[in-house]
Amino acid sequence: MRVIATAGHVDHGKSTLIKALTGSDPDRWAEERRRGLTIDLGFAWTTLPGGETMAFVDVPGHQRFVRNMLAGVGEVAGVLFVVAADEGWMPQSDEHLEALHALRVRRGVLAITRGDLADPRPALEQARRRLAGSSLAGLPEVVVSGTTGAGLPELTGKLDDLAGLLPNPDPTADVRLWLDRCFSVRGAGTVVTATLSAGTLTRGDELVVAGTGKRVTVRGLRSLGEEHETVRATARVALNLRGVHAGELDRGDALLTPGAWRSTDRVDVLLRDGGSGELPRELGMHIGAATSEVRLRPLGADTARLSLRVGLPLRIGDNALLRDAGQHRIPAGVHVLDARPPELRRRGAAAARARELERARDQPAGAVLLARDRAIRASELRVLGAAPPPHALVAGDWLLDPTARDEYATQLVELLEGVHGEDPMADGLSEQEAVRQLCLPHASLLPLVLNSAAAAGIGTGDGRLRLRGPELSEHVRRGVTVIRARLARHPFDAPTAAELRELGLDSEQLGAANKAGQLLRIGEGIHLLPGALRRARDVLAALPEPFTPSEARDALETSRRVVVPLLERLAREGYTRRLPDGTHRVR
């Protein structure tokens, strides 16, 4: 299916033309038929000669109903632009063109109606001049009469050609359904209608109401008057919803794929067809069928920050328009550059932000956001409307910027050097403490940091990070080998000070062995094998809790000399918890 909208001044024959094309009257209300005036959105469809179904969103042309018109054109990629031969280009023709141009609608057909009532050539020339320079310049043209049927076969052929030129949306995309009608049907409950511009809907799907987070279920799914199990974009759809009352929804609300969208009340945008210095500071922003009052803050020559009174689910790359309702004009279109922009707090921040946006304009959004945040979740990029850059370093859902990785690694080396400078016998940093001091957003990023060439001098083991020391001398290696062999047999039987002296090992040499990852200093004069903390935790986990230091000593087959500093270290590292009465529990 293809979905296009009508556009044009009031009483130029849009609805008559749609009725002639489809056999259905798009005017839904009795008042519309009585007055011959379209007030709200109407819908009809037909099958084109090439077999494609084309649905029409018929919009009102009267100035009083511009907001309704904007709700109808917000999600379409094509337009049937109507100008009457006997009246020519009129004020609402201008405003409708401004809206379509602001939304970057580029495909359509120009229909000069009432060709049976006046010479169509003046109106055609006038329309060509007005469309020139807009996104709709050079539209295919046809002269028709909705009353006599003259020109309808030619119009149908041009619509058939248009159907082949409209873009094919991604059926796997996240759903963002801007609602244009919400009502209740006796025996069915809440029904909403919308244009599905991307993604796929299936009966039974769960969706989220933007703004409230309320979850609803698609109980029934109709398109073009028929029930469907699944509908793929592009399509006009009617959804029977479970979990919400019709009065809780309104035109402009959005139904979203759960977890895939986030409402924002602040965006940085590229301004199109309007200088930021000339624009009013208070405007209305229209996207899809939604409207929000916005306050505009100029940043650069063609960039601005919009603060929305009502938050909307927006992404990078969205197109919207700004409307000055008081002046009845659409001064600019906007293209969202950042849906989660930084705050502007310091003097000169706006100008600096404008320079950032200028530099980033030709770069992929995902690369820009990763460079700015240093680390970001891939799922967060998706929510913002950006793709993970190919150069990103990956740890699960987390992405790390390579430059930031090297900076973190350099900072980590400095941290470890500082620890060693304060206490040469200190046993480096725990991985948990390193993550905290580096301000890494997630522990899974630490292995990526350690993979940096700048971290080549860092050794790991037993959940700790240490600077690699110099090569151990032959004398130290022999003494350490004896200790390690003993601890392999009895993991918690740390050698005494006298035994260490017999081996000829002083505190400096033992510190070098610890730094080299050969031993693990538990406390003053107490050295065990790397991995001893986790091994001790596993042994103690088998004890009834809480357990006393004596019970821990017996379980570990060691002495009080060793068990006291070992329990202190276990508690300090978070393996166990010391209770007020002196007993312990494993965490």
- Residue 208 in tokens: 């989220």
Is residue 30's pLDDT more than 50?
no
DSSP annotation string for 306-367:
EEEEEEEE--TT-EEEEEETTTTEEEEEEEEEESSPPP--STTHHHHHHHHHHHHTTS-HHH
Provide the pLDDT for residue 244: 93
Closest CA to 6 of 92, 64, 133: 92
218 lies in some domain: yes
Q: Quick check: helix, strand or coil at residue 441?
A: coil
For residues 37 and 149, state if they share a domain.
yes
**Mean local confidence (pLDDT), 330-352:** 92
Sign of the CA dihedral with 277 first, then 278, 282, and 288 last: negative
Percent of the chain with pLDDT over 70: 94
Give the pLDDT band (50/70/90) at residue 62. very low
pLDDT tens for 358-378 read: 999 889 999 999 999 999 999
pLDDT at 555 over 90: yes
Higher-pLDDT residue of 174 and 572 is: 174
Distance CA(452)–CA(440), nearest Å, equals: 15
Work out the end-to-end distance of the chain between its first and last CA atoms, rounded to an integer number of angstroms.
59
pLDDT interval class at 448 (50, 70, 90): very high
- End residue of a domain, out of 165, 190, 210: 165
Confidence band of 29 (pLDDT split at 50, 70, 90): very low
pLDDT tens-digit series, residues 480-498:
899 989 999 999 999 999 9
pLDDT at 25 over 80: no
By three-state DSSP, how is residue 228 classified?
Answer: coil
* 19, 99: one domain: yes
Identify whether 67 is part of a domain. yes
Do 136 and 99 fall within a single domain?
Answer: yes
Return the HEC string of 4-47: EEEECCCCCCHHHHHHHHHCCCCCCCHHHHHHCCCCCCEEEEEE
Burial tier of 294 (Cβ tally within 10 Å: 0-12, 13-18, 19+): buried
188 has a pLDDT exceeding 90: no
- What integer pLDDT is reported at residue 275 of this predicted model? 44
Q: Residue 385 — left, alpha, or beta (φ > 0 → left; ψ -120 to 50 → alpha)? A: left
pLDDT single digits (tens) 240-293: 999 999 999 998 999 999 999 999 999 999 998 754 447 899 999 999 989 999
What pLDDT shows up at residue 263? 95
User: Per-residue pLDDT for 557 more than 90?
Assistant: yes
Do 460 and 511 lie in one domain? The reply is no
pLDDT tens readout for residues 196-216? 999 999 999 999 999 999 999
* pLDDT higher than 50, residue 124: yes
Q: Is the peptide bond before 280 cis (omega within 30 degrees of 0)?
A: no
Per-residue three-class SS string for 157-206: HHHHHHHHHCCCCCCCCCCEEEEEEEEEECCCEEEEEEEECCCEEECCCE
* Residues 139, 26 share a domain: yes
Predicted local distance difference test score (pLDDT) of residue 276: 43
Q: Which residue has the tokens 């950032």?
A: 356
**Rounded to whole angstroms, how far apart are CA atoms 300 and 276?**
8
Is 60 exceeded by the pLDDT of residue 327?
Answer: yes
DSSP string, 519-585: -EEEETTEEE-TTHHHHHHHHHTTS-SSB-HHHHHHHHT--HHHHHHHHHHHHHTTSEEE-TTS-EE
Sequence-separated (6 or more) residues with CB below 8 Å from residue 336: 267, 268, 269, 314, 315, 316, 317, 318, 319, 320, 385
> What is the radius of gyration, based on Cα positions, of the chain?
35
Instruction: Specify whether the CB–CB gap between 114 and 148 falls below 8 A.
Output: no
Which of 284, 312, 342 lies at the terminal end of a domain, its last residue? 342
Overall average pLDDT of the 445-453 stretch: 95
Mean pLDDT across the stretch 142-158?
A: 92
Q: Which residues contact 404 (CB under 8 A, 6 or more apart)?
A: 374, 375
Let me know whether 149 and 25 are in one domain: yes
The answer to whether the CB of 22 falls within 8 A of the CB of 45 is yes
Residue 171 resides in a domain = no
The reply to whether 354 falls in a domain is no
CA 34, distance to chain mean position in Å, is: 46
Residues 160 and 32 occupy one common structural domain: yes
Identify the CATH number of the domain in which residue 208 sits.
2.40.30.10
Domain that holds residue 325: 263-342
pLDDT of residue 257: 97
Whether 333 has a pLDDT exceeding 70, the answer reads yes
Query: For the domain that residue 417 is a member of, what is the CATH number?
Result: 1.10.10.10
In a domain, 484, yes or no: yes
Q: With bands split at pLDDT 50, 70 and 90, how would you rate the model's confidence at 423?
A: low
Domain boundary among 133, 165, 197: 165
Q: Which position has the higher pLDDT, 36 or 514?
A: 514
Half-sphere exposure of 249 toward its Cβ, with a 13 Å CA cutoff? 34
- Distance CA(322)–CA(75), nearest Å, equals 16
Provide the CATH number for the domain around residue 67.
Answer: 3.40.50.300
* pLDDT at residue 549 in the model: 95
Residues 207, 213: Cα–Cα separation, whole Å: 9
Q: Assess if residue 327 is contained within a domain.
A: yes
Are residues 46 and 129 located together in one domain of the fold? yes
The number of angstroms, rounded, from the C-alpha of 580 to the middle of its chain's C-alpha atoms is 47
Counted domains in the chain: 5
> Distance between CA atoms of 287 and 289, rounded to whole angstroms?
6
Assess whether 300 and 413 both reside in one domain.
no
Give the residue from 425, 366, 370 showing the smallest Cα distance to 402.
Answer: 370
pLDDT > 50? residue 38: no
The whole-number pLDDT of residue 66 equals: 58
Distance CA 180, CA 194 (A): 5
Q: Is residue 202 part of a domain?
A: yes
pLDDT higher than 90, residue 191: yes
Question: What span, in angstroms and rounded, lies between the C-alpha atoms of 532 and 528?
Answer: 6
pLDDT tens-digit profile of 520-534?
Answer: 889 889 999 888 888
Average pLDDT, the chain: 89
Q: Are residues 96 and 62 in the same domain?
A: yes
Helices 507-515/474-489 angle, 10° precision: 70
Cα–Cα distance for residue pair 438/407, rounded to 1 Å: 10
In this predicted model, what pLDDT tens digit does every residue of 65-75 receive, in sequence order? Answer: 456 767 767 78
The verdict on 530 and 426 lying in the same domain is no
- The whole model's pTM is what? 0.78
224 against 231, higher pLDDT = 231
Q: Does 427 score more than 80 pLDDT?
A: no
Out of 209-218, 354-363, 385-394, 460-469, pick the least confident. 460-469
143 and 277 share a domain? no
CA-to-CA separations, 144 to 52, 87, 258, in angstroms, rounded: 22, 14, 46
Residue 45 lies in a domain: yes
Asked if residue 381 lies in contact with residue 387, where contact means CB atoms within 8 angstroms, the answer is: yes
pLDDT-derived band at 422 (thresholds 50, 70, 90) equals: confident
